[in-house]
Structure formats: C-alpha cells, structure tokens
Amino acid sequence: MNKKIFRWLIAPILGAAFIWCCVHFYLSRETYVPLTEQENPPPVAPAAVVPVEELFPHEITPKSTLSSSLRKLEVPSQVIHQIVEAAKPVGDLTKVKAGMRFQIVKTPDPNSEVVGFKFRFSAIEMLEIRKLNGTWVAEKIVEPTETRVVTFSGNVQVSLWESAEQAKMDPYLIAELAEIFAFEVDFAREVRANDEWHLSVEEKLVRGQHYAWGSILEAQFINAGEPHDAILFRMNGEKLGYFTPEGKSLRRMFLKSPIKFGRISSRFQKARFHPILKISRPHLGVDYAAPAGTPIRAVGSGVIKQAAWSGGGGKTIRIRHNSTYETAYKHLSRFADGIRPGANVQQGQTIGYVGNTGLSTAPHLHFEFYIAGRYVDPLSQKFPSADPVPPELMKQFQSEAAILRKSRTPAKAETAPQ
Ligand SMILES: [Zn+2]
C-alpha cells in the first residue's frame, strides 16, 4: 500500500519539483551573455564554496606582525625564521599586512608538530609552505580566473545611484559609467527622471565566484531622450579609450564638471548681489554646492600655477592647461598631496577638497575658467574632442563594436554602426 502511495502520489510531486528547480536555475542564469561570438561559452565550474574564515582560520591582527601572530599561536621562533627564509624566493613574509588570513597545518599525533602554512595574499594568490624531509619548501599558487560579460540596465527615477540599486548593480559600476560619459553629460546637473542606461562589463571569477570587475566594454546613456554610446577599443590589451559607434573619441580636452556628483548653486553672471559683501558684483565662475571634503578634480591636464591662500578666494588652486586655457578652484578646505606650484596634474586627478575658506557662507567650490586670460562661462563652452579611431584601425574597431552591441538587450534609440 505504501509503495502504491509513493508511486502514484509522491514520486510525481518529487519529479515535478526537480524539473521546476532545473527550469528556475536555468532562467536565473539568463542575464549573462558571452563576450565573443562563441556559441557555447564554457560553463562556469560549479562552486564548492567554503568560507575563507574556515579555510584560513587565523588572521594577522592590526598592529601585529607575522612573527608576533605566529608566536601567539605557539609556533616556535626557529620555525618562523625558517619559513620566512624559505619563502624569500617567492614572497616577502616580513611585509604582510594586517587582515591577511592564514592556516597552520599540524600532524594529527599528540605532538602536533607544525608541518605547513598557507598564507592567503589575495582572493587569487596564496603562498604555501610545507616541510618536506626536514626542509621547508615554499610555493606561490595563483588561482586561475575566468572572465565573463555581464549586462545591466537601469532607468533613473530618483537618482543615478538609486537606479543602480534598483538594477541590483554594484554602485562602483555606476561611478565608472559616469566617468565614461563625463565629457558628454554633466552628472551633477543634467541627469533627468526617465534617463536610461545600459552597460556590459567584464566580471572576473575565481572558482565560479565573483572576484573583481574588469572593464566596461560598452555602455549607453540616454539623457533627456538623447542617446550617448561608448565602446571600449583595446589594442594588444592596452586601452585606447572609449569611442562612439562612428569612431569619435568620447574624451575632450576638459571634463564637464570639476566635481563628480554635486549641484550647481550659482551660475556665471555678469552682475550678482554678493551675499556677504552686500553689493552688486559679477559672479565670474560657477559654484558647486557639495559637502566639505568632497574631492575636486582637475578638468584638464596641466601644470599647477598657484596653490595658496588668495584673499576672498580662500585656499585657491590655479592650473595652466596650455597657452590659451587656465582654470581656478576656490574656497578649498585643503590641497591634495603633491599639489604645489610647478606640479603636473592629469585630467580627472584629485587636486583638493571642497571647503569654506575665504569669503564663503557654506561649503562649496567656486570654479573659474579663463581663455587667453579672460573669464568665460565654462557651461557654455564646447571643447575640442581627442583623436578619433585611426583610419587604419577603423575596420577592426567597427567589427568589435558590432559584436559588443549585438550582445546587449535592445535599448531605445539605437543606431547600428555602418
Ligand atoms: Zn562663486
């Protein structure tokens, strides 16, 4: 009787549940797309995940060294000396940092002699030291990594950050996306509700588990109905930059904003009532309201002309970009390390931090732009683009671009490359 119940009732239910699980598992994997034209990408190895804490139960605690940590675990000083020596050809154990995890291998007998160590340098690097016939032998083990391409899409409702959260995407990637389009879109003031974005990014895996993000391969940002496309072009592993499908560079001579995410609180005006001086005075720059300490970046590469206190401007930086262009950044709380007159700065480099020094009522950045020594409104300038894809590489670029764009889920307002 029991056997009958099993055959007619329980077995079909178990069978159906099994099929449901398989289907569910299959469907939950569909967001991953292959990088190249490969029809069947190699499947990611099934993950047998053992927590790091279990594999490497010990940790170098803050303010301690490898020696002090090992001595606390009753490893004889002589053994510590021997393993540090043995490790020298493959890794310097005297320089390990707090937070590194490790494992000690002991013999199972009552003497429990120490016969091995495993030091986890990073998610993919490990140093193994074993006692073989009385001598310590060290070996560096690098875990093989795999790369796959993951795509994400989002729709802005409240903010760009919130849209990343909605898309269950690492906020690091939305910052990278904003970086790619920093020349096209001013993320401090131009993001609108219903703006859409899309990106394909390399994900690095170790034993089937997320380890790190690689490069964003292609991205799209639809700002107020206008699509902006970016495609990464690499030659022999070296990044040549992001280009439009037509091969135009997304880089310009100047970034659209010296602050990544801030709000414009006052625009360039020929006449304005000054809130402190109580007189009408021109406002020959753009103010960005941002919390004190927000990093300020050089909008273009150049040489620091001034980094000093400058009257009502408080702590001020002035950069000379070339014989035509200069920019100034005022009311800073402090300068970044190495920022002094004569220092070279790269576009996007952090030069200082938002403050409230000089004639200022609240933390903000006052940003000025000069062309041939005269103040201009940076928000109304159109700056020249960097070099496009070289003509001899255009064919290669377009075929790579076509593969990348084919892999994405169709977004609105898409234009196919010629
Ligand atoms: Zn101002």
Distance 331 CA to ligand 1 centre (A): 9
In terms of phi and psi (left: phi > 0; alpha: psi -120 to 50; beta: otherwise), the region of 404 is alpha
Q: What pTM was computed for the model?
A: 0.62
Q: 31 pLDDT band (50/70/90 cuts)? A: very low
Distance 168 CA to ligand 1 centre (A): 38
Distance 233 CA to ligand 1 centre (A): 39
Distance 345 CA to ligand 1 centre (A): 23
Strand, coil or helix: 174: helix
Distance 239 CA to ligand 1 centre (A): 37
Query: For the segment 353-391, what is each residue's pLDDT rounded down to a tens digit?
Result: 999 999 998 999 999 999 999 999 988 888 888 889 999
Distance 265 CA to ligand 1 centre (A): 9
State what percent of residues in the chain have pLDDT above 70: 83
Distance 379 CA to ligand 1 centre (A): 14
Residue 166 has pLDDT above 90, yes or no: yes
pLDDT at 296: 97
Query: For the segment 234-282, what is each residue's pLDDT rounded down to a tens digit?
Result: 988 888 899 999 999 998 889 888 998 778 888 888 766 666 766 677 8
Distance 286 CA to ligand 1 centre (A): 6
- The pLDDT of 4-28, averaged and rounded, is 49
Do residues 300 and 325 make contact, with C-beta atoms less than 8 angstroms apart? yes
- The amino acid that residue 146 corresponds to is E
Distance 355 CA to ligand 1 centre (A): 12
Distance 162 CA to ligand 1 centre (A): 29
- The pLDDT of 56-61, averaged and rounded, is 89
Distance 307 CA to ligand 1 centre (A): 18
Distance 254 CA to ligand 1 centre (A): 20
State what percent of residues in the chain have pLDDT above 90: 53
Domains of the chain, earliest start first? 52-142 (3.10.450.350), 146-251+391-406 (3.10.450.350), 263-380 (2.70.70.10)
pLDDT at 45: 47
Q: 54 pLDDT band (50/70/90 cuts)? A: confident
pLDDT at 38: 36
pLDDT at 404: 84
Query: For the segment 389-407, what is each residue's pLDDT rounded down to a tens digit?
Result: 999 999 999 999 988 877 6
Distance 354 CA to ligand 1 centre (A): 13
Q: What is the CA radius of gyration of the chain?
A: 29
- Average of per-residue pLDDT values in the chain: 84
